[in-house]
Structure 1
Amino acid sequence: MQLTMDEVLQQARPVLPVLVIEDVGLAVDLARALYAGGVRVLEVTLRTPGALDALAAMRKELPELLIGAGTLIHAEQFAEARDAGAQFTVSPGCTERLAAAADDAGLPYLPGVMTPSEVLLALEYGYRSLKLFPANGASSIKMLKSFKGPFTGIRFCPTGGITPDNLLSFLRLPNVACVGGTWIAPSNLVRARAWDQITQLAAEARALASSLEQPL
């Protein structure tokens, strides 16, 4: 049974790693390093020529991971992501054409929003799990707090600007399901094949957030 986008974000909590993969040959080792650090959901961004090949390789070698395609900005990318094995899709914004393509592809979709009007547009298309992009530190925290009143039941995944320093400030918000982050697998560590360090960064993020999950 296919998961909803809300269920995908619940499984991703606290952090959905946002990956820019330049070398397809490193994709599987990167996925294994993240899995060793406790990651169960990740997003491969379609910002590099081999991104879909990297996603397909990860899906084949680590079926226990839930892997999505991100930075979808053209309608045709949704079918391409589906055919490569993506299990969900993510965009930095939301348009009528992208929403229709996501529906046609039959995959859970996380559209990006930044303003109340964009949230309303996404709601008109039936989406209640949204990506807040870019998440600019304290100002975005204030915005998410203000969204809580008028947008009851909407869950956000802030992305772009999340760091270990502000991670908890976002995760404490009741309308934040998880956060998206690139710092867990930065390009320099991937190029250096520093898998132990990437595993440690993933584990540290989970450990940092674990206090929020404990009952009072």
Structure 2
Amino acid sequence: MLNKSEKLVSLLGGQPVIPVLKIADAKQAVPLARALARGGLPAIEITLRTADALEAIRRVAGEVEEAIVGAGTILDPAQYDAAATAGSRFIVSPGITKELLKASADSDVPFLPGAITPGEIMAGRQAGLTFLKFFPAEQAGGAAFLKALASPIADVKFCPTGGVSAVNARSYLDLPNVICVGGSWVAPDDLVKAGDWGRIEELAREAAGLRKPA
């Protein structure tokens, strides 16, 4: 049986970019998820930064069979539980706390907490998490900082998020300790608001082409 970090890798490791989405109108969620999946990015993170976020997760989980929907910006156990109940298949947090680690231990839904310092990363590792979010990636030192962690903490892998774009994604994906990256550039707010699903599908296809080196 896979442990939770291995389960996360199986969910997210099949694509180089995880779209990080802020959905203001739940009606946009299903066509957006379908466009991203058609472009080759079925795994998506819907952040709990809007009032419609949980409803958006519910709709994608219930109506888009090809999607792997997760919840982001989870700050406390109540949000963890609410997101899991809504149908999230993975949970993402900007940081790591004892309370969230306990919520993760009590849940079947795997947890991807953010960590940027060696101490935070080691705390996640000691809790049994060997796949972490590196956030905010660019502000915390970028690919060079993450590369420096690859040798001393070799068994921990990362999904860098925060300032990652089509321009710099490759610098992260080339690292041995990076599984995938998270980014919002594949579904910018203006295209989502306009319902330009065709252009979003194109951006997703371009991002899906950023495969990690063999």
- TM-score band by shorter chain is over 0.9
Find the counterpart in structure 2 of residue 113 from structure 1.
115
In structure 1, the residue corresponding to 2:153 is in which secondary structure? coil
State which of 34, 37, 40 in structure 1 corresponds to 2:39: 37
Amino acid in structure 2 at the alignment position of 1:42: I
Find the counterpart in structure 2 of residue 25 from structure 1.
27
Alpha-carbon distance in structure 1 between the residues aligned to 2:139 and 2:111: 24
Alpha-carbon distance in structure 2 between the residues aligned to 1:35 and 1:9: 13
Find the counterpart in structure 2 of residue 182 from structure 1.
184
Taking only the aligned residue pairs, the percentage that are identical comes to 43
In structure 1, the residue corresponding to 2:45 is in which secondary structure? strand
State which of 150, 153, 176 in structure 2 corresponds to 1:151: 153
Find the counterpart in structure 2 of residue 59 from structure 1.
61
Output one character per residue of 1:47-103: Cα deviation in whole Å (capped at 9) or x when no partner.
111101101101111122111111100111111111101111000000000110122
Amino acid in structure 1 at the alignment position of 2:9: D
In structure 2, the residue corresponding to 1:97 is in which secondary structure? helix
Aligned partners of 1:91 and 1:111 also within 8 Å: yes
Aligned partners of 1:137 and 1:162 also within 8 Å: no
Q: Which runs of 4+ in 1 moved over 4 A?
A: none
1:5 aligns with 2:8: yes
Amino acid in structure 1 at the alignment position of 2:11: V
Distance 1:179 1:42, change over 3 A: same
Output one character per residue of 1:98-149: Cα deviation in whole Å (capped at 9) or x when no partner.
1101222221100100111110111121110000000117931111111011
In structure 2, the residue corresponding to 1:117 is in which secondary structure? helix
Structure 2: stretches of 5+ with no match in the other structure = none
Alpha-carbon distance in structure 1 between the residues aligned to 2:72 and 2:66: 19
> TM-score if structure 2 supplies the norm length?
0.94
Q: Choose 175-184 or 105-114, whichever is displaced more.
A: 105-114
Amino acid in structure 1 at the alignment position of 2:131: S
Aligned partners of 1:134 and 1:158 also within 8 Å: yes
State which of 186, 202, 206 in structure 2 corresponds to 1:200: 202
Amino acid in structure 1 at the alignment position of 2:87: G
Alpha-carbon distance in structure 2 between the residues aligned to 1:31 and 1:9: 15
> TM-score if structure 1 supplies the norm length?
0.93
Amino acid in structure 2 at the alignment position of 1:192: A
Number of residues of Structure 1 aligned to a counterpart in Structure 2: 211
Aligned partners of 2:18 and 2:183 also within 8 Å: yes
